[in-house]
Amino acid sequence: MRTETNQEGRERSIEELFSDLTRETATLVRQEVALAKVEMREKPSQMGKYVGMLVAGGLILYAGLLALVATLIAAFAEAGMVLWGAALLAAVIVLIIGGVLAWAGINGLKRADLVPRKTLETLKEDKQWAQEQTRQAT
């Protein structure tokens, strides 16, 4: 039976070593879960910015649609170029602004990294550590 000497100079059995390994692994798992929770709390605040831009863009696009409707009404009512031409120009400007905001929001959401990278990296390190501990214990 393989043994190891602890800090007090007492030899520890394989059972004690595996018990320590199990306890330390459980502690690591709890710490990883806590880290994942922290990382996942940070992601929604990042997403909120882009969702806000998307909502603002959608509202402005809706205002542009209303302006287009007003343009059509003015075109039918007036049958002259000046009134509805001005309304159409305003609608186009509003639609462009809304489109740019919505496009920026969508692209921001596509680029957002939602994977808890720190947690995944430390889990890989923990796996390597546990494998090394198991090899040393046997």
List, for residues 87-121, the tens digit of each pLDDT value: 777 778 878 888 999 999 888 888 877 777 787 88
Asked if residue 74 belongs to a domain, the reply is yes
Task: Give the count of domains, the chain.
Answer: 1
Name every residue whose Cβ is closer than 8 Å to that of residue 127 and which is 6 or more positions away in sequence.
none
List, for residues 24-77, the tens digit of each pLDDT value: 878 878 888 887 777 777 777 777 788 888 899 989 988 988 888 787 777 666
Asked if residue 3 belongs to a domain, the reply is no
Domain that holds residue 43: 13-137
SS (H, E, C) 57-101: HHHHHHHHHHHHHHHHHHHHHHCCHHHHHHHHHHHHHHHHHHHHH
Name every residue whose Cβ is closer than 8 Å to that of residue 51 and which is 6 or more positions away in sequence.
105, 109
